[in-house]
Amino acid sequence: MSNYNNEEKKNHVIDYGTYIFVWLGLLALTSLTVTVAGIHLGNYTLIVGLLIALTKASLVIAIFMHIKVEDPIFKVFIGIVLLTLLAIFILTFIDYSFR
Amino acid sequence: MANGTIALAEKSFYQEGTTKRKTGLFSWIFSTDHKRIGILYLTSVTFFFVCGVILGELMRLELIAPGPTIVNAETYNRFFTLHGVIMIFLFIIPGIPAVFGNFFLPIQIGAKDVAFPRLNLLSWWLYVIGAVFALTSLYLPGGPADTGWTFYIPYSIRTGTNVSYTLMAAFILGFSSILTGLNFITTVHRMRAPGMSFFKMPLNIWALYATGWVQVVATPVIGITMLLIIIERTFGVGIFDPALGGDPILYQHMFWIYSHPAVYIMILPAMGVVSEIIATFSRRTIFGYKAVAYSSLAIAFFGYLVWAHHMFVSGLSETAAIVFSFLTFIVAIPSAIKVFNWVATMYKGSIDPRTPFLWVMAFIFLFSIGGLTGLVLGSLATDVHLHDTYFVVGHFHFVMFGGTGTIFFAALHYWFPKMFGKMYNEKIAKIGVGLFFIAFLTLYFPMFLLGYNGMPRRYFDYLPQFHTLHFISTMGAWLMFIALSIVIGNLLYALKKGKKAPANPWGGVTLEWHIPSPPPLENFEEIPNVTHEPYDFSQLEGMEYGTE
Amino acid sequence: MELNNPVSTNNNQHVHRDDVGARIGMWLFLFTELLLFGGMFLVYAVYRMKYPDQFHLSAMEMNTTIGTLNTIILLTSSLTMVLSIAAIQKKNKFLSVVFVSTTLILGFMFLIDKYFEWSHEIHNGNYPGSEVLLNKKNGEILFFGLYYAMTGLHGLHVIIGMIVLSFMLVFLLRDKITFDNYVKLENAGLYWHLVDIIWIFLFPLFYLIQ
């Protein structure tokens, strides 16, 4: 187990370059999602749009919000919360899909 | 643990504060000391409990005979709304975590304070502001809400009463609850004393930790729901308004997505306290410590998956009703694990039936009835018959008042000597708990029979055939008033005239019993190094304990 | 599950600083925000499923260009936010101040954009309770109701984030935030990124229904 302290955190200083690179990736994904929305994909538009949004959000969380280099317990926390949110969505739709 | 010695009586937290001003009101309401905040909460929570009790007594008085007795139907609607809002949002939800959690969580894990003391003070202030919002609605034109504490759509967007104020109050109180939970989780992760691993924590801490997660992850959903009703009432956006295409059942989903887990915010901390008291008065380590610890987490998680069992007759799809009914039964498992382990702990223990222990016995009996009737309501077929009857009212008073309320008093009697440094009269306290138990059954048990026979809830009037049972219930309410007066009066008297309490009156071994009563400002002279299991009673050797 | 003991047992030090603890607290707060918006997304999902065609119809009235512009503005502001943290880590106070200020300016630009977008819709008569809207079908009323509620709540968060960042700017200038004590700036950044993430999801749901 890692020993939490500030010294260790300092080793994780990420370079400006990485952030700019991620930012470029986010912009690319944005133009991709706008382009895809212009094509007629029917029901897949929503799914593709959400998948791209999910990718973008993961990039922001992992790099900009430092979760990649943060203590593992943070990942556990995020997992639990997302699981709960997912459970709420699924269970609500168990009602609405069968009305 | 704590080197087995009790620090020489230095200044207690009553004599030494965190504020510049040393005495007076300001040294309390601006104090960031977790113990002072705990006492602040105790005072305010008790105040609102008494308010709620008085409203309840008035309602029971109205129901003593058929027809209008003391109030009209409209006032009665406002009474049960206020009674519900006050008891749920101002008493039961903050009750055990905010009072006893604040006071004892840092001490039991060997910390000087919580992780964010200023946030802790803010949470009390938000509680007060929320309470003010709830109460001002009484005196503004329109009067207090008459929707019931569930604020069901569409009535809550049509009624002319001050629903928005009450909703705002619930929103602010939710924020206060979130801050408490956030503080507890961080404190448990970051502030445990050296050697205090997760599995050396007292079970009370496990319960508070699980509660913290429910508070953080569930409360925002009610926040947004309340906000949406306020928006709906102000701007008419149509999100829940059936006239504009909104779906009232979606509102019920959103409401119960929070309010069912909220039930576990109310009961989990109570279960934690029960584990503490049973271990101490049986002089035995809790049977199946890990199972009890994990069952707290399991209850917290499964609690999210069952909310729609409140909505079986609302027009839910049948598939959903069956799924939710099934899931509801799963939550009963971790609760049962706890009850079995408590009973197993007492087996061959050396039981010392002091007052807190008697309260816990009352809890196990009443809570089991509450839990089992919950299964009757959770299973689809019976619920259709019993929905919105007095059976439901009986059920949730057994779990809420018989469960959490009883443990609130158990905790108060257990930790009173530690918090205030005074002993109470045990004889009177025992009379109090006995009378409480009898009064409770007289007051609430007839409700099951009433509901089974078809008496609907939330009516100020009833058919003559229900008279006898209603009358018995009202008698129970009066008895309850006497019992509560004895219990609270006894403690207030002890506060003034009680004998000085020793550091460890009950022979407990968790960390709070190793420091003086009342504790000094930063709890420990030196942060303890924890080597023992939480309920290792061999520590009592060489430790001074007992009331004499 | 078993964690090592996190507390540095430095008893002489009266107040011990715990940056990881502060970040745990912040993340827990972000979870509450996530669930708050999660509730709204749930409402959106249910109504979109109920009225797919009318949602489609209403979304045609949304201005995709403004939406895309705002997405780019917020993504860029997230970049400048994280760069300001990197700068202070490298002891470059000046650059950090510049980046926080840029973030504030970008936030402001987002709000101006939003202002024009909302005024345009209101000008068209698409606002809650308006006659134009009440004459439309239920699904369209709900779309616009959700549009105002969700982007409005998001806008409110942008404003709160800007207030927090203004404080951070003052702290930076007064050396309350330094290269070895910048957890406040980090937490403000976390909040700002969350606001960005919410927008990342709002964007395809309101502007990109084709």
Cβ B317–A96 below 8 Å, yes or no?
yes
What confidence category does residue A6 fall into, taking pLDDT thresholds of 50, 70 and 90? Answer: very low
Which residues, at least 6 apart from B482, have a Cβ–Cβ distance to it below 8 Å? B435, B439
What confidence category does residue B48 fall into, taking pLDDT thresholds of 50, 70 and 90? Answer: very high
Pick from B192, B173, B174, B184: which is nearest to B211 by CA? B184
- pLDDT of C127 reads 87
Q: CATH number, domain at C91?
A: 1.20.120.80
CB-nearest partner of B220 from C1, C32, C51: C32
Establish if C28 belongs to a structural domain.
Answer: no
Q: What is the mean pLDDT of residues B431-444?
A: 98
Q: Average pLDDT over chain B, rounded to whole?
A: 93
B7 pLDDT more than 80 = no
Write the pLDDT tens digit of every residue in B65-102: 999 999 999 999 999 999 999 999 999 999 999 999 99
What confidence category does residue B331 fall into, taking pLDDT thresholds of 50, 70 and 90? Answer: confident
Tell me the residue range of the domain where B76 lies: 37-540
Q: What is the mean pLDDT of residues C98-116?
A: 97
CA–CA separation, B332 and B342 (whole Å): 16
Establish if B24 belongs to a structural domain.
Answer: no
A8 pLDDT more than 60 = no
Q: What share of chain B is helix, strand, coil (3-state, %, to 5)?
A: 70, 0, 30
CA–CA separation, B129 and A2 (whole Å): 42
CA–CA separation, B308 and A91 (whole Å): 9
CA–CA separation, B434 and B420 (whole Å): 24
B1 pLDDT more than 60 = no
Helix extents (H) in B387-525 = 390-399, 406-420, 426-452, 467-497
Write the pLDDT tens digit of every residue in A38-82: 887 777 888 999 999 999 999 999 999 999 999 999 999 999 999
Chain C positions contacting chain B at CB under 8 Å are 1-3, 5-7, 9, 11, 18, 20-21, 24-25, 28-29, 31-40, 42-43, 46-47, 50-51, 128-129, 134, 137-139, 141-142, 144-146, 148-149, 153
Subunits with 3+ Cβ pairs within 8 Å of C are A, B
Establish if C31 belongs to a structural domain.
Answer: no
Specify the residue for token string 């402001």: C108
Contacts of A99 in chain B (CB under 8 A): 317
Establish if C68 belongs to a structural domain.
Answer: yes
Q: How far is CA C4 from CA A45, B115, B198, B477, in A?
A: 46, 17, 9, 51
Contacts of B178 in chain C (CB under 8 A): 29, 32
Nearest chain B residue (CA) to A94 = B320
What confidence category does residue B5 fall into, taking pLDDT thresholds of 50, 70 and 90? Answer: very low
Establish if C33 belongs to a structural domain.
Answer: no
Q: What is the mean pLDDT of residues C70-76?
A: 97
Establish if B442 belongs to a structural domain.
Answer: yes
Establish if C105 belongs to a structural domain.
Answer: yes
Q: CATH number, domain at B229?
A: 1.20.210.10
What confidence category does residue C14 fall into, taking pLDDT thresholds of 50, 70 and 90? Answer: very low
C144 pLDDT more than 50 = yes
Q: Show the tokens assigned to C115.
A: 């202002």
Could you tell me if C187 lies within 8 Å of chain A, comparing CB atoms? no
Nearest chain B residue (CA) to A96 = B317
Q: Show the tokens assigned to C149.
A: 């509620």
CA–CA separation, C89 and C24 (whole Å): 20
Total of domains in chain B: 1
Specify the residue for token string 């009665």: B76
Could you tell me if B248 lies within 8 Å of chain C, comparing CB atoms? no
CA–CA separation, B311 and B417 (whole Å): 44
Would you tell me how many other CB atoms lie within 10 Å of the CB of residue B476?
22
Tell me the residue range of the domain where C129 lies: 38-207
Nearest chain A residue (CA) to C21 = A4
What confidence category does residue B295 fall into, taking pLDDT thresholds of 50, 70 and 90? Answer: very high
Residue B45 near residue B99 (C-beta atoms within 8 A): yes
Contacts of A71 in chain C (CB under 8 A): 20
Give the start-to-end residue ranges of the domains of chain A. 1-68, 71-99
Nearest chain A residue (CA) to C36 = A85
B121 pLDDT more than 70 = yes
Strand partners, C178: C181
Write the pLDDT tens digit of every residue in B468-508: 999 999 999 999 999 999 999 999 999 999 999 999 999 99
A7 pLDDT more than 80 = no
A5 pLDDT more than 90 = no
Could you tell me if B223 lies within 8 Å of chain C, comparing CB atoms? yes
Subunits with 3+ Cβ pairs within 8 Å of A are B, C
- pLDDT of B543 reads 86
Establish if B410 belongs to a structural domain.
Answer: yes
Pick from B112, B191, B22: which is nearest to B522 by CA? B112
- pLDDT of B137 reads 84
CA–CA separation, B337 and C157 (whole Å): 43
CB-nearest partner of A88 from B257, B317, B319: B257
DSSP 3-state assignment of C168?
A: helix
Q: Distance (Å) from the C-alpha of residue C12 to the closest C-alpha of chain A?
A: 18
Could you tell me if B257 lies within 8 Å of chain A, comparing CB atoms? yes
CA–CA separation, C144 and C147 (whole Å): 5
Establish if C23 belongs to a structural domain.
Answer: no
Establish if C22 belongs to a structural domain.
Answer: no
- pLDDT of B238 reads 86
